[in-house]
Structures are given as C-alpha cells and as structure tokens.
Structure 1
Amino acid sequence: MVEVLNSPLASSISTYGYSHQNHLYCCSRRHDFRIPFQCISCCAYFDLGLKVKTSCSKKNLGFAVVALAEGSRPQFQTAKPRVRETFLLSKPIKNDNPRVFPSKVARLESVCEEERLPFVKENEDFSKNYPKQILPAWGSLADQDSENQNHVNKSSNIYLKTNDETEDEIYYLEERDVEILSRRLLKLSRANKVRSALALYRSMEHSSLLPNSHSCNSLLSCLLRNGRFDDALKIFEFMKANEIITGHTFSLILKAVANVHDCDAALSIFEEAERDYKTKKYMDTIVYNTMIAMFGKMNDGDQVERIWRSLKDNGLIGTEVTYRLLVCIFVRSSQNELALDAYHEMVQNGLSPDEDTMEAIIGACTREGKWDMALNIMQSMLNREIKPSLIACNALIISLGKSAKVDLAFKVYGFMKSLGYEPDSYTWNALLVALNRANKHADAIRLFESIRKEHSTSLNLHIYNTCLMSCQRLGLWEKAMQLLWQMEASEFCVSVTSYNLVIGACEASRKPKVALQVYKHMVQQKQSPDIFTLLSLIRVCIWGSLWHEVEEILNHAPNGSIYNAAIQGMCLRKKTDLARKLYVKMHEIGLRPDGKTRALMLQNLPKNVDQKRSDVVI
C-alpha cells in the first residue's frame, strides 16, 4: 500500500462516511505520518495505469472503492509491513456475481486533516522496508510502456461507463432494514428512475435482502413502461422463486407477454401457473379477468368461455368486472345464450350489473326474441335512475316489433321521446316492422307517409322496403310503383329486393303485364333477377295466361323450382297437356320434380294409361 503512495501515479480515493475507523501508518525517510481512514468491506486493487494524487484538508481521510479490477489482482509482499493489521484484514466482497464490473480501475481520493502533504519524489526508494507491488502479467515491459503512454493520452476516458456497465451496478448498502429499502425501491420505481431502481434491487439481491411484493410489482411496472421486457421477466422469475409473487404480478407479466409476443404465449404462462400448486394459489380473479379481456379483444368467445369455466372450477367467484367482460364479449361474438347465462349467474351471486352490461343484455334479448326479459331489464335501469341509451331503446322496440307487440313498442317509443331522444331511421323501421307483424299494413303506410313529410332525412332503403312489403300484402301495385319511382329519383341504390316487392304487389293484384314491365326495367337497370323474381313472374304470367312469356322465362333460367312452379300452375289452370310437355322436358334436361309435382301429374294422367305412359315418366 505504501508503494502505491510512493508512486508518482495519481490515485483518487472517495469516502461516503462509513462508521468504522482505523489508521494507516505511512513512513518514509522524510515523513512519518498517520492517516486515519474508515474501513469498508471491500479491497482495492491497482494497476500501472493509476496515478496517485494526495491532498490534505480539514477533513479526515477515508477510503471507498468505486470499482474493482477483476482478473488482475496484484499481490503485496509482507516482509515487515508497517501497515496496521486491521486494514489488511478488511473483508473483501465475494465476487460471485458476474454483474460486478469487469476490468475496472479503482478510483481513490485522499484528504488530510492538518496540511497538504508534499508529493513523493520518484527517486525515493522504499523498496527495502515496505511491501512491493507485484504487477500482473499483462505482457512485456514494452507493451506495458506503450499501454502507459496510451493511458496518459486517454486519461479523460478512463472513468467513462457504458450503459450496460452502469446498469449492472451493485452498491454496498449501509441500510439493512428491508422495509426501508423496499420503500426506497418503491419511490424510485414510481418516479420512473429505472437505472437507480435496478441498481438498488440488485444490491439488495446481492446482499440477500428480500424486497416486499409491493416494491417488486412497482419495479416490474416501471420496467415494462420503459420497454425493459427482459429485465421484467428476470424479476418475475425472482419473485416466483422467492414466493413473493401476487396476482397483480401475473396480470402485469401476462399483458406484457401478449403485447410483445401474442396471446398464445401469455396463455401458455397462464396454464403453466394453473398446473403448478405453488403458483396456483396466487391466481386470483383479477388474473382471470386479464386473460378474459385479452381474448375478448380478439373476439375469441370459445377461449373466453374456457377461461370462465376454469375460474369456476378453481373455486373463484367473478366480480362485476368479470361478468361485464363476459356479457359484452359474448354479445359481440354473437353467443347470446352464453351472455344470458353469465348475466343470470351475476344476479345469483348478488352483483349489480352496470349500464354497459344491462344494455348488452338487452341487445342479446332482442336477438333471442326474449322481449319480456329485455323489458324487465329496461324497467330495472329506470328504477336505478340509469338513463338507457337510444340504442337500447331501439333494440327493445325491435324485439317487441318482431313479437308483434305493437302497443308496447309504441309505449317504449313515447318513453324514448320523453327522455329527450329524437327517433332515427332504426326507430322508424322498427315501428313499421311491428305494424306489419301485427298485420296492420294500412297503418304502416300511413306512418310511412308521416315520416316522409316530417322526418324525410330519416328515410333510407330499409324504410322504403318495409313500406313496399305493406303494399305487397295489400296488393297496392300503384302505390308500390310510386314508391319505386321515388326511390330511383332520390338516387337510392335500388336493390333486387325492392324490385321483387313491386313485382309481388303486381302478382297479388293480378297485373302480369305490369309485372313484366317492372322486370324489363329491372334488367335495364343492370339488376340480375334472382329465383324469387322468376317465381313471381311465372305465377303472375300463368294467372294471366301468358304462356309464351312463361316458356321464355323457363328457357332463360332452367331451374327445378321454376319448372315445378310452372307445372303446378298449369295443372291448377287445367292445362294438363302443357304440364305434361314441361314434365317430360324437365326429365330430359336432368331436373327432378318434387312430390307435389308428381302427385299432380298422376292425377292428370289420361285414362288410357298404356297409350300415354311412354310420353310421361313418373
């Protein structure tokens, strides 16, 4: 050690105020002085690149090692050492942790109490009385000289640390209280000081001090916020190994794994934790909620159902969040029965559904036709002073309309207006459908006319088609034609369904020529007729005795359903000869008649069966 003080190379030692204090005796031919120092639990090693710089002030001299040299420890000869034994017996830190700084140079700084000590000259020889420093085998002397020369030129970069080095810092912890250190770790993590928090955590780990779960969860969240996924996984494994893990820990890491990788990777970790009896006890309802929400974003209702069943099998009870997620996910994935089951289970467990859950259930009831349940849920919302949305009101009106509950539908409509909502196109269409289901077609047409006059901006293609359906049922072909021209004038994209409804109105009123005109106009508008269009034309032409047109339609689109309709119509009109010809032609082109067609042909066979049987194949 004296050899180091004797060296002209500068050394810098810094102190941090440790409690134990000893003295270092240094003697030379000109100086004999005592330096008080504070002992720390580490050893300093030096190399040729160190320059020793001594300075004195009014403060005590203390020693603290900032970095340790690894892999190159110089040895001291102990022939009559003048240094006190207490310094030589200072206990070093056992370097079992690979994160301790590799290849670092100790930085020392000396401060004297009374006066500044003079520099020791280079020609003074202490080799006879004091320990010698045996230098590490770093190569030849020439290489060492060149390294020293380079060290002088790059002295400003000696103490610079890279990011990886600073992130692996380990400090000597003067404070040994785990609770105090955990609170410090918590504050650093909340302040988003990643490097300092990691250094404190690793120092506690190195000192066998176990932080509490709350501080580790905060550190885990801090690392994930800053994109330190790998470090977060290491801390997660550390918490599992030391059994300080919580459900919040699993929730954090599962969401992070799903974001970095995918939901299947998170599911693997979740299932592994469920199988392990040591970690299964930490899997609370919040962890299951995390997994349900994760697969809910993907609309994977089947996987959500499996997680829900697993939650109940493990003896856990869902929370309001659990059932809100289940109901909304099942409704969104069109699994309405499961949504209703989740809602009933929620009510049985004594939990109160919130606004989102109740509105989602109303939507599920409308799809399943359970209007009474939807009405009860709406009433319970009003009792709890929860204002239902316009979507929920429309859904309830639709459900009532499909069940032909016209009076209740209009009551909900009046209540909706009292809440301050303006009816939209969904509302009007639902009311029109309700009137049609109740066979009040004339009332539906009158309601349509009032909508057209007072709420023309709400008109759309669906409302027009609903009114055309009323015209078809009443056989009002003129009104249907008028609505069709209005649709085309309003530049609506008139669909095949609209033309079919107009042709159906002509069929109901026995207007075959008008139906054919609508059909030709439809083709001119580049709308391809479907099977319903052709069936209506066949029926209306048969009733109008337009046999040539019937034959053209059959040749244009040969189809078994169209041939069956034509043959049956001809048999009912007593055109048995034409029916037999079509029947034979139907067999020739490979079409199969249905049971009703065969029965009609058997009834209309001639009396001399042997004479005509060869013409007709039954």
Structure 2
Amino acid sequence: MVMVEMLNNPPACSISMYRNSHQTHWFCCSRRHDLRTHLKCIGCSAYLSWRLNIKMNCAKNHVFGVVALAEGSSTWLGTPKQITPENFLSCKSIGIKTPCIMPNKVARLEFESDCDEGRTPLFEGKEGFSENCPQHILPPWGDLSDEELEYQNNLDDSLRRSTKTIDETDNERYYLEERNEEILSKRILKLSRSNKVRSVLALYRSMEFSGLLPNSHACNSLLSCLSRNGRLDDALKIFEFMKTREIITGHTYSLILKAVANDRGCDIALSMFEEADRASKTRKYMDTIVYNTMIAIFGKLNNWVQAERMWRKLQDNGHVGTIVTYRLLVCIFVRCGRNELALDAYHEMIRNGLCPGDDSMQAIIGACTREGKWDMALNVLQSMLNSELKPTLTACNALINSLGKAAKVEHAFKVYGLLRSLGYKPDAYTWNALLVALNRANRHADALRLFETIRREDSTVINLHIYNTCLMSCQRLGLWERAMQLLWEMEDSVFPVSVTSYNLVIGACEAARKPKVALRVYERMVQQKQSPDIFTLLSLIRGCIWGSLWDEVEEILNSAPNGSLYNAAIQGICLRSKTDLARKFYAKMREIGLKPDGKTRALMLQNLPKG
C-alpha cells in the first residue's frame, strides 16, 4: 500500500491506493476515521463516494488538485488533467510535486501506473469522473486552477529564500469558523500577552482577510507585543490599518511613538507626533497620555528643552497635566540643573490640586536647596511627613547643607535629629554640613568640639572635606598648633593632602603672627610636590610683612612676578611706614610692565617726594 498524507491543520485527509489481482482501488479518508472508499468533505452536507478501476493493460499519467484547508474547512477535488503518457514500471508510488501543503493553495499530486497492454482512461464517466463524483466542485473562493502556475513560482521563490527565518517568509491565514469579533479580539489579546507573535499575526491577518474588525484594545495589545519583540514594521502596518478603520486611541499613539523612538530615534518620533498634531482628524487623539509619552522620551536623553516645549504645548492645547506629567517634568528639570523650571512645575501641580509623590518631593527639596530656598524645602519636608512619606538620607543631607549655608544652625540640627529618628546613620556629608553650619554662624569652637565627637563616635566617616572644614575653624581662631596637628594626621593617613589644606594651615599661622612657621609649612608643601597658588603666596607675603621678613618678601616676589602680589606687598609695606622699600618695589613693578591698582597708586602719591 502506498500512502500520501497531507497535513496542514488537523483534521487532515489522506489518499491511499491498494491493488489486488484484479483491480486497483483509490480512496480518501479522514485521518482519525476508518473510511475505506469515501471522501468526507468536512463542512459539506454530502459524502463523495467513488472508486477508480485501473485495468492492468493500461498506462496513464493523471494529475489532479487537492485543496488542503485549515481546521473546520472542506477538502475539495479539482478537475483532473491529463498529461502526456509515458512508459513506467508496473507500479509506481505517488509523486508530490509541491514540497509542502500551504493554506488556501492547490497541492499537485501525480499518480502513475503502467502495464504491458493498451491504455484506457484512468477515470470513467463524464469529464473523467465516475457517476458518483460531483462535477467541477470548486472551493468557496473560486477556481484556483488559473493561479496554479503563479503558486508554483511562489513556491520556487520560497525555496530560494530558504535562508530566511520563518517569520520573514510566513504570511499565514486561517479559515475562521468563529465569526464573532469580540471573541476573536479576546483571542488576539491573549496571544499578544503571551508573546506568541506568529500565531497572533496569523489570526489578525485572517480577520482582516475575512472582513472582521478586532477592537481597539486587542489591536493595542498586538502593537505592544510586536514592539516588545522588535517587529516595528509589522506594528506600523497595523497602526496604519487602525487609522484607516478609525479604531485608533491615544494609547495607540503612545505605544507607537515609544516604539519608534526606541528603534529609530527621538527625531522620527517627534516628526510623527507633530504630523498627527497638525492634522485635525488625528489631533483629537493627542491627549495627556501622549504628551506624557513624549516628555518621557526626551527625559531619557535629558533633553529638557523639548520636554519643556511639550509641557507648554500641552498647556496651549487646553490639556491638564496629571501626576505623571509633573513627576516627569520635576525630575527631568532637577536632573538637568533647571531648578527654576522644576519649581514652576511643582507649583502648577499644587495649583491643580494634585498631591506630589515621593520622588517629586525628593527632587523639589534638592532644587530648593540649590536655589537657597531653605524655607520652601522645610515646608516640602513637613508635607512629606504629614503624608507619612519617608524622606531619603540624601534629601535630609541636602536640606542640612542648605540650612548650614544660611547659618540656620538650630534648623540644621533639628533636621539632623529627624534624620536619626528615621533610622538613618549620619554619613560624612551629614557631619560636614553640620560643621559648615557652625562655621557660618561663627561658632568655630563648637565646630572643633563636634569634630572631636565625630572622632570618638565614628572615625571611619572622617574624610578630606571634614579635615578641611576643621582647618578653616583653626584659621579663623588662629589655632596654628591645632592646625599643624591636623595637617600631620592628614599626611599620616591615606588622604592626599591638597593645596587647599596647606593654604588653610598657612592662613592659621598668618592669623597667629607666626610667619616663620608659615614658611616652614610652605617648604613642606614644596617637598610634597604641591605647587603653590596665588592664595598661598599672598598669605605668605602678608605674614612676612607683619614679621618684618623683607628679604623673604623680595624672594617671593622675584620667584613669581604677579600684579596682585606686588600690590599686596606695596600696600603692606606702606602701612608699616617703609616708604623707601615701597618705592623700590613700585619702580620694579613698573619696570617689568605690571600695572598697579588704584589703592597702590594712591599710597605712592602720598609717599612720593614733592617735585
């Protein structure tokens, strides 16, 4: 027995042949039913029963078409065609000329038999069929015999493109038994959520081919599925279909704009948005959600200019922003350093009666501290506590730092107490902000006592910034010995001692009238390969003048000729009533081409001899 089984979508049909000593029998039966000489046309009201008798003294080569349909459809037999007979062996197997069975296409099957005697037609009766066989049975979509050659060419092309993936060459369509659009839309929704791209596309194309319209919710879910799987071209085709059938929504535009921005860039998405916004037919779909999508797209690139433009356009078109809108705007503006715009967005959110979220408040506290609006930052912090929101350690530190710069020591320590009550452990930024607050309030001794407390409680948080803040307190108090001790500790630690640290120690020696100690610190600085800056030399000159170290002053001026250094030296020498030395330095200053400032010229006019 020779069997050919055509499988497309179950149930499939099979065509079988068997022969005995007198005759050969052909029959077609369902795969799961034992029908011997009957061809069951599924979906039809009749059974086709036929029998083909082949005499052993004949040889004929016949070709007829079998249409394989999807599940729940019918199997049809086309009109047989006779081709040129040839001599073959007494029995040959069925040859399938098409390599596969495609939906809604005709598969060519070639049956061959041969014998030593004459030839008679394979099919008896009118038109080559038996009397029980219907004449010219056609599929529901018409006669496909004219498309046979085109289909064969398509199959050849598909073989030549065999290196492509299935998704690139697949264009499946199903015969749909279900005609309810809502039920089919739910199937699309379920397949899309499961990321079954091929199946959902085939179902969508089948509905489109059958004139059925999925609802907008199903199409949006399909767009999201295609976007997740990198099928932007298919998503754009479905988007155009939705526009044509007018089932598009604002959510549809949000999905497609986000997909286009991720795949082809923000400029293409912006052009697409502006085109839709200009057209009166699609402008009605540009709701707040679409604007939020565009703001988020530009926020990823920190493009605050376009984000602000979308915000203004949203206002001009009469839309009201949501919490998402203002959260995006505040975070983008704060991240880009546009604190004034962030505060404007926050105030507009409050005017619209919206309650800001946790991240918006954290960002606003940061914006207020950078703008020096510590009172507003305190109000936002209190609003967070009233809403049972927990501010972060970073927000508390930023507020302490802002209060410290404003010399609001009491408020700063209150926020510090709140920080401890929330369960946070103070870090180096916290302690440095408190030390800065004490220094700004001219409580330098308290700052040094706080430093000793930090050293006792948690010395691991002490860093270079905390040391420099303490050195600043020593400079203001003139505690040169304490400054030298801190400098030695810094050199013995792993912290790299900077020029700023040496300058603060030299400044402490200057305040204590210890110029020789300052010079030793300067020499140590040079040994550590730290280049002195203008502040280092100015402090040394002032200290040497008050210590009457005139040779050292001249040596410093010769090593680094600078107008600011000469002006400071001449003015200090004049105040010490050393007019001859002042005129000497003034003449040298004019000789090397340096210009004196107004105060230096005035002092020299007073001290120059008349005439």
**Fold conserved (TM > 0.5)?**
yes
Cα distance, 1:240 vs. partner? 2.2
Distance 2:73 2:464 in 1: 92
Distance 1:497 1:199 in 2: 71
Residue equivalent to 2:428: 425
- Aligned ranges for residues 180-219 of structure 1 at < 5 Å? 180-219=183-222
Cα distance, 1:448 vs. partner? 1.0
Write 1 or 2 for the structure with the bigger share of strand: 2
Residue equivalent to 2:133: none
161-170 vs 21-30, greater mean Cα deviation: 21-30
Asked if the contact 2:538/2:565 (under 8 Å) is kept, the reply is: yes
Cα distance, 1:500 vs. partner? 0.6
Asked if the contact 1:554/1:562 (under 8 Å) is kept, the reply is: yes
Residue equivalent to 2:386: 383
- Residues 131 and 603 from structure 1, CA distance in 2 versus in 1: closer, same or farther, beyond 3 angstroms? farther
Secondary structure at the residue paired with 1:106? strand
Residue equivalent to 1:63: 75
Distance 2:201 2:505 in 1: 76
Residue equivalent to 1:271: 274
Distance 1:439 1:210 in 2: 77
Among 96, 119, 123, the alignment partner of 2:120 is 123
- Residues 588 and 262 from structure 1, CA distance in 2 versus in 1: closer, same or farther, beyond 3 angstroms? farther
- Please state if 1:401 is matched with 2:407: no
Residue equivalent to 2:171: 168
Asked if the contact 2:62/2:122 (under 8 Å) is kept, the reply is: no
Distance 2:168 2:28 in 1: 21
Cα distance, 1:126 vs. partner? 5.5
How many percent of aligned residue pairs carry the same amino acid? Answer: 70
Asked if the contact 1:9/1:53 (under 8 Å) is kept, the reply is: no
One-letter code aligned to 1:291: M
- Please state if 1:516 is matched with 2:519: yes
Asked if the contact 2:480/2:508 (under 8 Å) is kept, the reply is: yes
One-letter code aligned to 2:121: E
Distance 1:313 1:228 in 2: 35
- Aligned ranges for residues 254-403 of structure 1 at < 5 Å? 254-403=257-406
> 5+ unaligned residues in a row in structure 1: which ranges?
32-47, 55-59, 77-99, 109-120, 152-160, 609-618
Distance 2:422 2:542 in 1: 49
Cα distance, 1:402 vs. partner? 0.9
Distance 2:606 2:293 in 1: 70
Distance 2:73 2:549 in 1: 121
Asked if the contact 1:472/1:501 (under 8 Å) is kept, the reply is: yes
Cα distance, 1:435 vs. partner? 0.7
Residue equivalent to 2:495: 492
- Residues 174 and 563 from structure 1, CA distance in 2 versus in 1: closer, same or farther, beyond 3 angstroms? same
- Aligned ranges for residues 528-547 of structure 1 at < 5 Å? 528-547=531-550
Asked if the contact 1:11/1:53 (under 8 Å) is kept, the reply is: no
- Residues 284 and 504 from structure 1, CA distance in 2 versus in 1: closer, same or farther, beyond 3 angstroms? same
Residue equivalent to 2:229: 226
- Residues 137 and 10 from structure 1, CA distance in 2 versus in 1: closer, same or farther, beyond 3 angstroms? farther
- Please state if 1:503 is matched with 2:506: yes
Deviation digits for residues 63-98 of structure 1 (CA, Å, limit 9, x no counterpart): 259xx9xxxx9999xxxxxxxxxxxxxxxxxxxxxx
Residue equivalent to 1:461: 464
Among 434, 437, 443, the alignment partner of 2:437 is 434
Cα distance, 1:442 vs. partner? 1.0
Asked if the contact 1:13/1:63 (under 8 Å) is kept, the reply is: no
Asked if the contact 1:503/1:533 (under 8 Å) is kept, the reply is: yes
Distance 1:19 1:326 in 2: 60
- Residues 11 and 272 from structure 1, CA distance in 2 versus in 1: closer, same or farther, beyond 3 angstroms? farther
Cα distance, 1:478 vs. partner? 0.9
- Residues 13 and 244 from structure 1, CA distance in 2 versus in 1: closer, same or farther, beyond 3 angstroms? farther
Distance 2:585 2:501 in 1: 31
Distance 2:62 2:602 in 1: 112
Cα distance, 1:357 vs. partner? 1.2
Distance 2:175 2:196 in 1: 19
Asked which structure has the greater RCO (Cα within 8 Å, sep 6+), the reply is 1
One-letter code aligned to 1:252: L
231-240 vs 437-446, greater mean Cα deviation: 231-240
- Please state if 1:106 is matched with 2:102: no
- Residues 490 and 26 from structure 1, CA distance in 2 versus in 1: closer, same or farther, beyond 3 angstroms? closer
Asked if the contact 2:54/2:122 (under 8 Å) is kept, the reply is: no
Distance 1:61 1:457 in 2: 79
Distance 1:28 1:517 in 2: 120
> 5+ unaligned residues in a row in structure 2: which ranges?
1-14, 18-23, 31-38, 56-60, 83-100, 110-117, 130-135, 137-143, 157-163
Asked if the contact 1:167/1:198 (under 8 Å) is kept, the reply is: no
451-460 vs 430-439, greater mean Cα deviation: 451-460
Asked if the contact 1:476/1:509 (under 8 Å) is kept, the reply is: yes
Cα distance, 1:401 vs. partner? 0.9
Residue equivalent to 1:40: none
One-letter code aligned to 1:514: V
Cα distance, 1:175 vs. partner? 3.1
Distance 1:430 1:229 in 2: 51
- Residues 384 and 494 from structure 1, CA distance in 2 versus in 1: closer, same or farther, beyond 3 angstroms? same
Asked if the contact 1:13/1:62 (under 8 Å) is kept, the reply is: no
Distance 1:607 1:483 in 2: 52
Deviation digits for residues 439-497 of structure 1 (CA, Å, limit 9, x no counterpart): 11111111111111222111111111111111111111111111111111122111111
Cα distance, 1:306 vs. partner? 1.4
- Residues 534 and 138 from structure 1, CA distance in 2 versus in 1: closer, same or farther, beyond 3 angstroms? same
- Residues 606 and 30 from structure 1, CA distance in 2 versus in 1: closer, same or farther, beyond 3 angstroms? closer
Secondary structure at the residue paired with 2:282? helix
- Aligned ranges for residues 573-588 of structure 1 at < 5 Å? 573-588=576-591
Cα distance, 1:347 vs. partner? 0.6
Asked if the contact 2:510/2:542 (under 8 Å) is kept, the reply is: yes
- Residues 135 and 211 from structure 1, CA distance in 2 versus in 1: closer, same or farther, beyond 3 angstroms? closer
One-letter code aligned to 2:127: Y
Asked if the contact 2:333/2:339 (under 8 Å) is kept, the reply is: yes
Cα distance, 1:348 vs. partner? 0.6
One-letter code aligned to 1:163: I
Distance 2:223 2:532 in 1: 64
Distance 1:235 1:61 in 2: 27
